Structure 1
Amino acid sequence: MIDYEQDADGVAHIVWNNPDGPVNLKTDASIAAFSAAVDRALADDAVRGVLVRSAKRDFVAGGDLLGLYATQTAEGAIAKVSTVGATLRRMERAGKPFAAVLGGSALGGGLEVALACHHRLAADDARLRFGLPEVTLGLIPGAGGTQRLPRLIGIAPATRLLMDGKSVGAAEALALGLVNEVVAADRLLETARAWVLAHPQAQQPWDRKGFRYPGFEPQSLEGRAFFFNAWPQLRRKSPMEDRAPGVLLHVLGQALQRDIDAGLAIEQRYFAQVVTSPSAKNRIRTQFIAANAARKLTRRSPDVPRFEPKRVGVIGAGTMGAGIALVCARAGIATVLLDRDDATAARGRERIAKTLDGSVERKLMGAQERDAILGRLQAGSDFELLQGCDLVVEAVIEVAQAKREVFERVLAAAGPDVLLATNTSTLSISSLAKTVAHPRNFIGLHFFAPVDRMALVEVIMGADTSEATLARSLDFLRLLGKTPVVVNDGPGFYTSRVVGAYTREALHLLNEGVSPALIDNAAFIAGLPIGPLAMADLTSYDLLADIVGSLAREARGTAVQSQGAQQAIEKLLGAGRLGRKAAGGVYDYPPEGKTVWSGLAELFPPRSPQPSTQEVVNRLLHIQSLETVHAMDEGIASDPLALDAASVLGWSYPAFRGGVLAHIDQAGAGRFVAECDALARQHGPRFEAPASLRAMARDGGRFHALG
């Protein structure tokens, strides 16, 4: 896993080379091997300098998240980073030059290794990314990232990178000072060799006498003001229960005042705290373990040959259809985008071109790649363009009859055996399938907007959908780089059903006279990015009337009690408040910013006293978890890991909470049921826990095993 070689000029090559996978990871075994290789180079008088590089496409992808997930004690967490931390300090102080040869991306723990080298050279390749994304997984760097990066590029830019968890390309990394050189890939190795041979006494800036931070010092007036202002900014963005951001800011504020070795010790101590926190366990399980499991397509039948569509049709050039066509063309598939007339189809293509132009401006792709994507895209209104398509995705208005008419035209042009998918969030797949020639070839693919940025696709199996159609659909989504969650047909499927329960509860609260500011702020405090009433305004109340009404008629799960929410919608519609698309809804939207509609109190007289923020948080979160359990009981879905991932990826459920079912585990099933019983006594039967959840509480069960 670590190769070692030495050339005739006395340059040692320490090469990360994981034999068990496509990327290098900092596992216990690879760290031990790396440490031994460093010690070998340092002990050999014939070695004049060292190049640290990779035999894989990328440098080192980061730490072993599965190992961290399994770590239960602070002592165990410190042990995970102490060896590599000590090794990196030996590299820096041993008097021999180390250069990191970055032919590929270096993220997280991989970048920490590179930062400990005296010189960093990156290939001139737009695909390369550099960053420390630990905070997005509930962690902080533990092998020096919080200490070396600010000392290298300055406190302010380093803090932004660390707190956002974002990565940068090679050009920006060079501008920041994160890398020292960007050179052509075929000259990378020789340039690195020349550098180490020319710098025998290389030393890190922070180990030199009189070192000063780029920009400002941590204890300067500017430095104190920076950290003083950083705390309220953090709290406006991140709840306290999400431990990593606050701990990270604390480490930066405290440890940067000390010398590098004291700072590294402080970093390790706080790293151990966050590794064992619930928020880290939740994030790793949902965003890494669950997402990876979904991408492995475990529901795919191994008996079905691999499906690689060469030509795909998308019907509907609106926001969703254009987004689907974009990701298809971006994946290298010849794509036909159709709408009712050429002008409408052309507007869809223009929308795609504008999105790609933005990517070029942000240097996420080159003009040549943009032109190639557009070259694979054909827009028009003639359904005969669907001839030769392997798959067609319908994305027209959410009206069953309109979709059926499209299906008839698609099958006439593409043939009765084409794989046909409908992008719907609520309409029954089994019912729609009755109108197509071969229901076995019909499936639901519920994309999320904006399609080019949202990873999740809800895959809905109709009553007659075949395993071959599922397998081919999953292969298609793999090509698009999407994360699928497979569910069965049923009212609202999974995502729309749970989001419907969340929105419905907010409308119940509004109808009771609870302040809209309290409702939406409680959602923000819980970690949701947008309040449910602001989201309802965006959805529009005429559409919500249909959605809430249809789910209420089914009377399943928490929809058994929908009257209060329906009354709230009727009052708003009666007052002409359709939502943001019209005059406004709960809120007005003047140019200076969103404000509560002045007439709202007449429709919904404020109750006194108002409920506590925690009660509102519990109602908004508990109702989502209850609805998920109901969906599982009805056979809509069965995999807790996938359902939690879908809640985070689909409607931005707070990742630090782990998902809708992890929320139950966090409280404990017994406590959760007791809280639901109390809510049911006060607010009605929608909060009654189903029998399966009561059995779990009685038996001390969980949805997820402890890490």
Structure 2
Amino acid sequence: MNSSVNYERQGEVALITLNNPPVNALGQAQREGLLRALHQAQIDTQAKVLVLLCSGRTFIAGADIKEFGKPPQAPSLPEVVNAYEQSDKPCVAVIHGTALGGGLEMALGCHYRIARRDAKVGLPEVKLGLLPGAGGTQRLPRLAGVAKALEMIVSGQPINALQAREHQIVDELFDGDPRAAGIAFAQRVLDSGLGVRRTGEQAAALKGVDNGALIAAKRADVAKRLPGFFSPPRCVAAVEAATLLPLVEGLQRERALFQECLASEQRAALVHGFFAERQCAHIDDLPKDTPVRVIERVGVIGGGTMGVGIALSFVSAGIAVMLMEVDEPALQRALQRARETCEASVARGSLSPAVMEQRLALLHGGVDYSELATADLVIEAVFESLEVKRQVFERLDQVCKPGAILASNTSSLDLDVIAGFTSRAEDVVGLHFFSPANVMRLLEVVRGRHTGLEVLATVMQLSKRLNKIAVVVGVCDGFVGNRMIFQYGREAEFLLEEGATPEQVDGALRNFGLAMGPNAMRDLSGLDIGWSIRQRQRATLPSNYPLPDVLDTLYAAGMLGQKTGQGFYCYAPGSRRPEPNPELLPLLEAVSREKGIERRALSDDYIVERCVFALINEGAKILQEGIARRSSDIDVIYLNGYGFAAWRGGPMFYADSLGLDNVLARIREFHQRFGAWWEPAPLLEQLAAEGRRFADWKLES
């Protein structure tokens, strides 16, 4: 018997137990073992009913993702699922932990399903650019109906056991030991003479409903919400097949659609993102046994939008927060802002009133730094000025207890200089949250020259409690995300001087896959912020690094974006919807004339190359300097913090997919035409010459 699949019998109940820690993934060996165990149960004349179990903390949490894209190895998962469904002895799946992807499909192939009350089930394949390929799109609608099947398969989000029971996906809920519950349920199946009940032969959930209308509505929804994605429309088509075709033909249609997804470039990009997110938590020189500090009380300095968002992130994780402001009126405004943010979540239905009050009970306010004396971690979220931060950190150094971690939320300033304002540089770290901090999952963890390993280990562990994706970066102006976005935004602005409009630039980049165009993004953050950064850069940049002038022109005209109702776009009172700014074109034309630029028509492809290749070139420089340790870390930052299309895989993966020699050739053209900003990164030149990819390169410790 396969070592990861065990067969035993207790009376008339055959127990098939999968043991493939940590998540019981269904690799080739496990699939083969399940088939052998099924065969043994079929020839065991004393076995009358089968129970499929998993050892450890979970049921089957999915297929082995590492096999995707490789030559298939028999038996395939559809073969195994079909074999269990065709068993002439009743088969019961006993779910605990999670049954995801191939795990749920395996359970759907069994004749009965029971789930522990705290279990979850789902079909998340769409998140990897795929669709359920082992019968999930055919069997789930037959149990739960088309509407629920579409919701689960197109979103990829799991549901809890109670919901699964309500939608007939499982037959019964249990508490306690899965083995005991499985044997008890199997005995009831025997005693009642229920026999086999094949999911593929069920049809009740498909009747009495306008399935065609549900399919059409979901198809339209996907086209609107997920433009550019390859697999979601095919998920809809597969579920549609379940409503139109017999099971055998539906399974064939599902498999054909699955193969289309498997062969798509998007699948490779989404799988890359999946593994990149897990890889970024690995830090080579941080031993796994590094001690971590206890974080129970947190201070947040600054009650603006960012500070309140950070505070809410902590109270949402059950951690008490002291929110500090300069005076009582400012503090009350900050606390009210926190309450209003939570109330908006309640109004949307994403938070219950009771949970809101539990969280707000953990949020306290103060105006005296002495109230931070017992804090385990203090995060400043004050104005982006070194002088302001100097005052904050000098005071924290005086009042905070030994061992307290002092963190800066700076988005661009030199963390090593900030650490120098204290006598404990080893306790200083950057925690760059992204706005809104209580929503955005990305967290740039800025590792200073003296940041201690214990501090680094603590904040990385803390990020998991906060449900954040933490990426460790080094110290430089803008770190990774903002340093790269400056290059991107600069080129977008130059394009406006050369003849493009904000609508064209933003539209081209949205069509490419960005969640928001650069001009709308700047209006959202406020053009005054960009202008202040621009002034600081002008003071340090060499003369052969020119800067565009559009931002300065808008700033001088008082057009600061959404906060003034006018910027690159116009905004009606109370609206965030961008509308064309009728005053902008004359301003752009004036800037172009003053700089001697003849405005011309620009293609969308050209716009995308100018902006995205600027990201890539700067990313290569960041890698070579060691600010990021892997190209995949850069991709994680852009996928989760800057709205880069998941199906593009991130800027560095996208460059690899194009071929670095092709990217370099275009960058050299831009360098010749536009000067110093476009000097090719040496690492890009090196890798292109060697025929390698960014993914092949890693910073050596």
Same fold (TM > 0.5) = yes
CA distance in 1, matches of 2:42, 2:340: 54
Instruction: Kindly provide the amino acid, as one letter, of the partner of residue 366 in structure 2.
Output: G
Task: Determine if the alignment matches structure 1 residue 409 to structure 2 residue 395.
Answer: yes
Superposition map of 1:61-210 within 5 A: 61-68=61-68, 71-72=69-70, 76-77=71-72, 79=73, 83-125=76-118, 128-185=119-176, 189=182, 192-193=185-186, 196-197=189-190, 198=192, 200-207=194-201
Of 335-344 and 58-67, deviating more is 335-344
How many percent of aligned residue pairs carry the same amino acid?
31
CA distance in 2, matches of 1:343, 1:55: 57
* 1:7 alignment counterpart: 10
* 1:587 alignment counterpart: 569
Q: Which runs of 5+ in 2 are unaligned?
A: 593-597
Instruction: Kindly provide the amino acid, as one letter, of the partner of residue 671 in structure 1.
Output: N
Superposition map of 1:562-577 within 5 A: 562-564=546-548, 567-577=549-559
Superposition map of 1:445-484 within 5 A: 445-484=431-470
Task: Determine if the alignment matches structure 1 residue 538 to structure 2 residue 541.
Answer: no
Instruction: Kindly provide the amino acid, as one letter, of the partner of residue 387 in structure 2.
Output: Q
RMSD: 3.2
**What is the SS of the residue equivalent to 2:695?**
coil
Cα pair distance change 1:374/1:83, threshold 3 Å: same
* 1:604 alignment counterpart: 588
Instruction: Kindly provide the amino acid, as one letter, of the partner of residue 495 in structure 1.
Output: G
CA distance in 2, matches of 1:302, 1:229: 49
Q: What CA deviation, in whole Å up to 9, does each residue of 1:83-121 have, x standing for no partner?
A: 321221122222332233223222212111122222333
TM-score by length of 2: 0.88
Alpha-carbon offset, residue 429 of structure 1: 0.8
Alpha-carbon offset, residue 568 of structure 1: 0.9
Alpha-carbon offset, residue 362 of structure 1: 8.1
* 2:479 alignment counterpart: 493
Residue 49 of structure 2 contacts residue 90 of structure 2 at CA under 8 Å; is this kept in 1? yes
Cα pair distance change 1:371/1:100, threshold 3 Å: farther
* 1:633 alignment counterpart: 624
Q: What CA deviation, in whole Å up to 9, does each residue of 1:126-164 have, x standing for no partner?
A: xx4322111111222121112212232233432232222
Alpha-carbon offset, residue 446 of structure 1: 0.7
Alpha-carbon offset, residue 562 of structure 1: 4.7
Residue 103 of structure 1 contacts residue 188 of structure 1 at CA under 8 Å; is this kept in 2? no
Instruction: Kindly provide the amino acid, as one letter, of the partner of residue 12 in structure 1.
Output: A
Alignment match of 1:279 (pick from 266, 288, 293): 266
Cα pair distance change 1:349/1:214, threshold 3 Å: farther
CA distance in 2, matches of 1:123, 1:359: 30
* 1:516 alignment counterpart: 502
Cα pair distance change 1:427/1:150, threshold 3 Å: same
Superposition map of 1:262-411 within 5 A: 262-287=249-274, 289-301=275-287, 304-342=290-328, 344-345=330-331, 348-349=334-335, 352=338, 373-411=359-397
Task: Determine if the alignment matches structure 1 residue 45 to structure 2 residue 36.
Answer: no
**What is the SS of the residue equivalent to 1:435?**
coil
CA distance in 1, matches of 2:490, 2:207: 52
Alpha-carbon offset, residue 580 of structure 1: 0.5
Residue 417 of structure 1 contacts residue 438 of structure 1 at CA under 8 Å; is this kept in 2? no
CA distance in 1, matches of 2:610, 2:169: 46
Alignment match of 1:643 (pick from 606, 610, 634): 634
What is the number of residues matched between the two proteins? 682
CA distance in 1, matches of 2:317, 2:377: 14
Instruction: Kindly provide the amino acid, as one letter, of the partner of residue 448 in structure 1.
Output: F
Residue 25 of structure 1 contacts residue 61 of structure 1 at CA under 8 Å; is this kept in 2? yes
Residue 317 of structure 1 contacts residue 339 of structure 1 at CA under 8 Å; is this kept in 2? yes
Cα pair distance change 1:372/1:231, threshold 3 Å: closer
Of 377-386 and 509-518, deviating more is 377-386
Q: Which runs of 5+ in 1 are unaligned?
A: none
Cα pair distance change 1:129/1:572, threshold 3 Å: farther
CA distance in 1, matches of 2:48, 2:354: 43
CA distance in 1, matches of 2:14, 2:327: 65
* 2:595 alignment counterpart: none
Residue 35 of structure 1 contacts residue 84 of structure 1 at CA under 8 Å; is this kept in 2? no
Residue 52 of structure 2 contacts residue 94 of structure 2 at CA under 8 Å; is this kept in 1? yes
CA distance in 2, matches of 1:514, 1:366: 46
Of 619-628 and 327-336, deviating more is 327-336
Cα pair distance change 1:199/1:135, threshold 3 Å: farther
CA distance in 2, matches of 1:393, 1:508: 36
Q: What CA deviation, in whole Å up to 9, does each residue of 1:457-477 have, x standing for no partner?
A: 112223333444333433433
CA distance in 2, matches of 1:183, 1:412: 55
Alpha-carbon offset, residue 329 of structure 1: 3.6
Alpha-carbon offset, residue 545 of structure 1: 0.8
**What is the SS of the residue equivalent to 2:694?**
coil
Alpha-carbon offset, residue 400 of structure 1: 2.2
CA distance in 1, matches of 2:480, 2:517: 20
CA distance in 1, matches of 2:18, 2:666: 51
Q: What CA deviation, in whole Å up to 9, does each residue of 1:368-413 have, x standing for no partner?
A: 7666555544333332222232322112222222222222332222
* 1:656 alignment counterpart: 647
**What is the SS of the residue equivalent to 2:651?**
coil
Task: Determine if the alignment matches structure 1 residue 622 to structure 2 residue 613.
Answer: yes
Instruction: Kindly provide the amino acid, as one letter, of the partner of residue 16 in structure 1.
Output: L
Alpha-carbon offset, residue 244 of structure 1: 2.3
Residue 95 of structure 1 contacts residue 200 of structure 1 at CA under 8 Å; is this kept in 2? no
Instruction: Kindly provide the amino acid, as one letter, of the partner of residue 54 in structure 1.
Output: C
Alpha-carbon offset, residue 541 of structure 1: 0.8
Alpha-carbon offset, residue 496 of structure 1: 0.8
**What is the SS of the residue equivalent to 2:629?**
coil
Alpha-carbon offset, residue 478 of structure 1: 4.0
Residue 97 of structure 1 contacts residue 199 of structure 1 at CA under 8 Å; is this kept in 2? no
CA distance in 2, matches of 1:496, 1:159: 38
Q: What CA deviation, in whole Å up to 9, does each residue of 1:498-557 have, x standing for no partner?
A: 12222222222223231222211111111111111111110111111122343454449x
Residue 239 of structure 1 contacts residue 526 of structure 1 at CA under 8 Å; is this kept in 2? no
Cα pair distance change 1:251/1:303, threshold 3 Å: closer
